Amino acid sequence: MAAKRRAPKAKKKEAVAKRPGGSSRTRKRPAAPPVTAPSARALAKARAKGEPSAAELQLDDPVAQAVALSRSLETIESAYDAWEELREALSRSRQRFGDERRRLDEEGELLVGAVRALTDRKIPPPPPSAPVPDTLVAANDAAAADQFLAEARARLDEAKGRVIREAAVAEAAFERAFADVRATARARIEARARVAAPKIRLLPRSVDPEHRILHLERPSPEDAIVLFFVLTGRIPSRYGAPFDDSTDDVFVGPTMLYPDEGIAADELRPSAQRLHLLLDAQPAVWPLKGYLLQSLPPVDGHARFVRWLARGAVFEAELEDGYGFRNVLSREEAELITGGLLRLKLAGRLELELGRG
């Protein structure tokens, strides 16, 4: 007996709404509301501890958002993104408070100048309603001007004091946020170094029987950050720092340092000897730009740096030599540098492979 064929299920009809006049149109179902992620402020309130409140600081938003960003994604890069946002917010904050102080100073100078012009009788007095001796007009003008100036100065001093206090609160809040982000970045770099040692490939090249040039194959951005930490025990101040060869002056080349962590603008291209002094004052963060740094054992009581300078697809070793660095190494120097990397490999701090340059 043939099986009965099931009738196809009828499709559900969409609701139909009648238009005025008898015509109809299909009424679409309303779309579901989009799912939104928690705001940076909500994340900051939920996760950030010890941050300034809105009552303490008008600039709570950029600080809270940066800290929330550093904690919302468990990656090294997100911590550095938050670090950069904080730098930008701090720059805007200082600019705003600086502009306000300049405005108040200019207002004060204008008032002093106006009173001086008045008391020096450079401005003629208004015509009196009745004849008054000229000496009496001058005396009255001077007394009134002095009183006005004293009251105006008191108001300006109060406003300046308020701006100074707000700026101090802002600086303190930013400093707490920077400390938080630095600690977050370092913790993530240390964790990455423990579970996945950076992989590097050394490419030696002979110049002649007695001289060598050493290259490192360019690692990934995160391996470069972790390698920075393995070589120095510090963290870089910016995520892409090892590869950054940008320059503010094409005639003198890239700077060696970023203007971070208290490094002054006139110290961005230090000599090799000056670099030691600047970095000795930085116990946790080194604002190096465009290279990795490796320390060698001291010679005659003086420690030496090897600067692994970013050059396209490789890092090239440059040994400290007097006030500068040189890339052509003696055979003994090349062996000493390679031995330092080998020691880190044997300690399990990095994975080293030897290739051909």
Looking at residue 122, what is its pLDDT? 58
In 138-227, where do the E strands start and end? 199-208, 211-217
H-helix or E-strand spanning residue 77: helix 76-119
Q: Flag whether pLDDT at 232 surpasses 60.
A: yes
- In the chain, the percentage of residues whose pLDDT exceeds 70 is 72
Residues 317, 327 contacting (CB under 8 angstroms): yes
Residues 100, 120: Cα–Cα separation, whole Å:
30
Q: How confident is the model at residue 1 (pLDDT cuts 50, 70, 90)?
A: very low
What does residue 340 show for φ and ψ, rounded to 5 degrees? -65, -40
**pLDDT: which is higher, 62 or 255:** 255
Q: Give tens-digit pLDDT for 93-109.
A: 999 999 999 998 888 88
> Residue 201: pLDDT above 80?
yes
Residue 136, pLDDT score: 42
Q: And the tokens for 121?
A: 């009788």
- Once rounded to an integer, what is the mean pLDDT over residues 151-155? 83
pLDDT at residue 357, rounded to an integer:
60
Does the structure show a pLDDT above 90 at 308?
A: yes
Q: Residue 43: pLDDT band by 50, 70, 90 thresholds? A: very low
Most confidently modeled range among 47-56, 291-300, 323-332: 323-332
DSSP string computed for 128-140: PSS---HHHHHHH
Q: Residues 325-334: what's their mean pLDDT?
A: 95
How many CB atoms are closer than 10 A to CB 337? 22
pTM for this one? 0.71
pLDDT at 311: 92
The pLDDT assigned to 131 comes to 54
Residue 273, pLDDT > 60, answer: yes
Highest mean pLDDT among 36-50, 146-160, 208-222: 208-222
Instruction: Give the CA count within 13 Å in the CB-facing half-sphere of 159.
Output: 15
Specify whether the backbone of 322 is left (phi greater than 0), alpha (psi in -120 to 50) or beta: left
**DSSP assignment letter at 288:** B
Between CA 327 and CA 216 the distance in angstroms is 13
Residues 315-319: what's their mean pLDDT?
Answer: 97
Checking if the pLDDT of 8 tops 70, the result is no
pLDDT attached to residue 33? 35
Mean pLDDT score, 161-174:
91
**Of the listed ranges 21-35, 139-153, 323-337, the one predicted with least confidence:** 21-35
Nearest-10 Cα torsion for 142, 143, 148, 149: 60
Nearest one of 275, 240, 232 to 257, comparing CA atoms: 275
Q: Identify the pLDDT of residue 248.
A: 84
E strands, the chain, where? 16-18, 24-26, 199-208, 211-217, 235-236, 285-286, 291-299, 302-311, 314-321, 324-326, 329-330, 351-354
3-class SS of residue 266: helix
Would you place residue 190 in the very low, low, confident or very high pLDDT band (cuts 50, 70, 90)?
Answer: very high
Question: Which residue in 336, 341, 344, 342 sits closest to 320, CA to CA?
Answer: 336
pLDDT in tens, 74-88: 789 989 998 999 999
Taking all residues of the chain, what is their mean pLDDT, rounded to a whole number?
A: 80
In percent, the amount of the chain with pLDDT more than 90 equals 54
